Amino acid sequence: MLKVFISVLIFCSALIYAQGTKVFGDFSMKASPYNSKVFEKSNLNIYYQFKFLKDSKVSQNPREGLCVLQIGENYSKFSDTKTLQKDSLFEKFSHLESVGVKEMNQLFMYNPLWSMESLKSVVDKKVTYQKRYKTKYEYEELQPELKWQLHNESKKILDYSCKKATVKYRGREFVAWYTMEVPINNGPYIFEGLPGLILEL
């Protein structure tokens, strides 16, 4: 069973490490075209550190990464920061006549652990998912109606007073900690619907 733990890091910067994959030799190929659509500018970016564990034993070495929740007026997007960096390189390289070993090694530096991007629309209550597997594909669905149970338990996260909430979603139970000190109905991935920003899931 894979458990995902997400906790927030607000206004932090990511340290980027090479993943150990390198391309050697001398080759070049035609640069691929790059297309993107800007829905709107984000007003607020919230960074979440996440950890993948095979089980709940803390002694194991978790795989860790950093995601960002970009919040605008009508949309919010949740993605791995390395995906954004990789997309930025794809866009940059698309203007070249060809790409070679140097460009490929730059791309291999950014290997996202959180492979699914999600775009939530406030207007039509839909979520669009994108994932790259050889090529990028996407699908959309209605925003799930999450039936949160609110609890009296509380704790501090980054000096914010947080309350506990739980919800069952697709066969799993999730525990969220949200703060009413940031009155934003949003959180990581598809999670939202609480009277404050979700700081930990």
Q: What is the pLDDT of residue 34?
A: 65
Q: How far apart are CA 143 and CA 100, in angstroms?
A: 41
Answer yes or no: is pLDDT of 7 > 50: no
Q: What is the pLDDT of residue 1?
A: 32
Q: pLDDT, tens digit, for every residue of 55-76?
A: 665 556 778 889 999 999 999 9
Taking Cα atoms as reference points, which of 44, 50, 130 lies closest to residue 84?
A: 130
Pick from 32-46, 73-87, 185-199 the range whose average pLDDT is largest: 185-199
| Residue 191 φ then ψ, to 5° | -80, 130
134 compared with 197, residue with greater pLDDT: 197
Taking Cα atoms as reference points, which of 12, 127, 45, 157 lies closest to residue 180?
A: 157
Answer yes or no: is pLDDT of 12 > 80: no
Pick left, alpha or beta for residue 86 (phi over 0 → left; psi -120 to 50 → alpha; otherwise beta): alpha
Q: What is the pLDDT of residue 18?
A: 37
Residue 39 pLDDT grade (very low, low, confident, very high; cuts 50, 70, 90): confident
Cα-trace Rg, the chain: 19
Q: What is the pTM of this model?
A: 0.73
Q: Residue 157's beta-bridge partner residues?
A: 160
Q: pLDDT, tens digit, for every residue of 142-190?
A: 999 999 999 999 999 999 999 999 999 999 999 999 999 999 999 999 9
Task: Please provide the DSSP assignment of 60-104 as one string.
Answer: S--EEEEEEEEE-SSEEEEEEHHHHHHHHHHHHHTTSSEEEHHHH
Residue 33 burial (CB count, 10 A): 8
Sole residue written with tokens 């699908």: 139
Answer yes or no: is pLDDT of 132 > 80: no
Residue 77 burial (CB count, 10 A): 19
Per the CB < 8 A criterion, the answer to whether 179 and 160 are in contact is yes
Taking Cα atoms as reference points, which of 142, 147, 170, 159 lies closest to residue 199?
A: 159
Answer yes or no: is pLDDT of 27 > 70: no
Per the CB < 8 A criterion, the answer to whether 151 and 136 are in contact is no
Q: Residue 127's beta-bridge partner residues?
A: 120, 141
Q: What is the pLDDT of residue 52?
A: 78
